[in-house]
Amino acid sequence: MRIDVEREVAALRAMTVGQLCEKYAELFGEMSRTRHKPYLIRRIAWRLQAIAEGDLTERARRRAEELANDAEVRVTPPRGFDPRLRPGAASARPAIVSTDPRLPAPGTAIVRQYKGQTLRVLVLPDGLEFDGNRYKSLTAVAKAITGSHCNGYRFFNLEGTR
């Protein structure tokens, strides 16, 4: 019996999700784990095409199973992996260089009076230092000082510089 795949796929689009799940179970021999209609249509259409055109040979199927059993599947890269480093090299993190032109050059101290105190923030090549703590942004420093969120450049009066 020859299956008209195009006609079958057109009929799939008119089916409800429940009907697609039944068709999936009929073709694959197991219940579907999803109720995502476009996915079910693609999977069922693929299976219908495989039945109509011919599936993998038994030899190819066995080889694919062998390869799948031997493979160590990793979904995410290992912690600390940096593709820019060559294999075997030390995994030292490169310094983060600020590209914001409003921020002064590294080594510069930003000084401001606030509530009777003189605040001094040191600009580093990879962040900022205030009161012995390291910060990634001026906003984080301003939040540590005031206790509420505010724009760090505005707080330190650096908005219009450069």
Query: Could you give the residue ranges of the DSSP H alpha helices within the chain?
Result: 5-14, 17-28, 37-53, 58-70, 138-146, 152-155
pTM: 0.39
Q: For residue 4, name the pLDDT band (cuts at 50, 70, 90).
A: confident
Mean pLDDT of 91-119: 76
Model pLDDT for residues 56-78, shown as the tens digit of each residue: 888 988 888 888 776 666 667 77
Distance of alpha carbon 160 from its chain centroid, rounded? 35
The whole-number pLDDT of residue 3 equals 76
pLDDT at 41 over 90: yes
- As given in the structure block, the two tokens for residue 157 are 């009066």
The whole-number pLDDT of residue 153 equals 87
Q: What share of the chain is helix, strand, coil (3-state, %, to 5)?
A: 40, 15, 45
Q: For residue 140, name the pLDDT band (cuts at 50, 70, 90).
A: very high
